[in-house]
Amino acid sequence: MTTAIATKVFADRIGRIEVSATMAITAAALKLKSEGVNLADFGAGEPHFSTPRHIKDAAIEAIEKNFTRYTNVAGIPEVRKAVVDRHACDFGSNYTPDECVFTTGGKLALFNAIQVLVDHGDEVILPVPYWVSFKDIIQYAGGKVVLVEGEEEKNFRITAKMIEAAITPKTRAIILNTPSNPSGAVVAPEDLEAIVRLAHKNGIYVLLDECYVYLNFTGEIVSGGSFTDCKEHILVLGSLSKTYAMTGWRAGFALGPKPVIAAMSKLQSQSTSNTASMVQRASIAALTGSQECVTEFRADYIKLRDQVLEGFKTIPGLTCTVPQGAFYVYPNVSKFIGKGGIKSASDLAAKLLSEAHVVVVPGEAFGTAEHIRLSYAVSHDVVVEGVRRMRDYFATLG
Ligand SMILES: Cc1ncc(COP(=O)(O)O)c(C=O)c1O
């Protein structure tokens, strides 16, 4: 008697996603670094600052005091209170701790939100350019990504009118990430309000990725979460990673309607459970302590952005929108495609890495084929050296 041999190795859903493109470029860069190559690394999207002392101390104290056990799945009440109080103080929102779930990084907040809201065939509207993970996370849930192109000439502006044109009976959610990774574009407050109101009117969730909300350089820091009369359809996805230079700690959260938060917590109870207990204590210190570090980081990013943009002016053919936030620039490299055997932005990124030892991420990862992304969360010296290498390399393309 013969037994049937299963030929299927993996579940279909894992075939619907790709490895994160930013992680792939980081891996290639790490390999070169390990071979002793000196790189000007604009690849990874994380602050170059160290986590502030008072945040580290809170974690150390938590460990010393044996605060090392399981906690409530959604986070201890104190951390959820710290999140909602910070948000209320800075943006005028009115969430309660049971409208908050603390997650192992902002990415997990997004992942869980999509898992609980999006079914097979549901549509999710996503502005272009988009952060790499949005698309894959939607597809993993079986959802369909509906892209809306931002207008590059208008700093990748997205308006309610553009979103409205993409709404169908299957639309389940709209994702807004402002300031944006990769373009640094900020959705103007009036556009943000119009989009939130449009979503509310249509019974569609608006997922506000506020990972960079404090890295807004316009002087007017707003959150879509402040439109409290539309709360029923708003989900704020937050992160401490960039705000407090805490990428490795994995601290994020979601604020939203109680039933959605409860569903996300239920999902979390069957996967990661609580965020590391000492990280929750460190996060309380970050959220309730002095916010001076945030102001300092922001001021330095503005200087770095200006330095990069000044440097770009010395590279003929390279054009770039002026980012209003985050720590990325997204120059248009279309003038170089077709020169020196370069066929695409990916090709260019690969050449910049191998020939100029400059790490950038190709625009294809973010839904545009004519750009590269540089993270300028690096030292001022790296900016100077990196821009010089790029200028020299681009000059060889004629
Ligand atoms: C737009 C955006 N959202 C969310 C995240 C997730 O951040 P984390 O999971 O570190 O909180 C990132 C990280 O790069 C991001 O760029």
Residue 179 beta carbon below 6 angstroms from any ligand 1 atom: no
Residue 181 beta carbon below 6 angstroms from any ligand 1 atom: yes
Distance 389 CA to ligand 1 centre (A): 28
- 52-96 pLDDT, tens digit each: 999 999 999 999 999 999 999 999 999 999 999 999 999 999 999
Distance 94 CA to ligand 1 centre (A): 24
- 353-385 pLDDT, tens digit each: 989 999 999 999 999 999 999 999 999 999 999
Q: Are 340 and 347 in contact (CB under 8 A)?
A: no
- Percent pLDDT > 90 in the chain is 88
Closest approach atom of ligand 1 to CA 22: 14
Q: Where are the domain boundaries for CATH 3.40.640.10 in the chain? A: 69-288
Residue with CA at minimum distance from ligand 1 atom 7? 106
Whether the upstream peptide bond of residue 127 has omega within 30° of 0, thus cis, is no
- 282-311 pLDDT, tens digit each: 999 999 999 999 999 999 999 999 999 999
CATH class belonging to 69-288? alpha beta
- 209-248 pLDDT, tens digit each: 999 999 999 998 889 899 999 999 999 999 999 999 999 9
- 125-153 pLDDT, tens digit each: 999 999 989 999 999 999 999 999 999 99
Residue to mutate (ligand 1; options 108, 110, 114, 181; most atoms within 8 A of CB): 181
**Which architecture characterizes domain 12-50+293-397 according to CATH?**
Alpha-Beta Complex (3.90)
Distance 183 CA to ligand 1 centre (A): 14
**pLDDT of 298:** 97
Distance 186 CA to ligand 1 centre (A): 16
**pTM of the predicted protein model:** 0.94
**What is the distance between the alpha carbons of residues 41 and 33, in angstroms, rounded to a whole number?**
10
Q: Where are the domain boundaries for CATH 3.90.1150.10 in the chain? A: 12-50+293-397
The model's confidence at residue 3, banded by pLDDT at 50, 70 and 90, is low
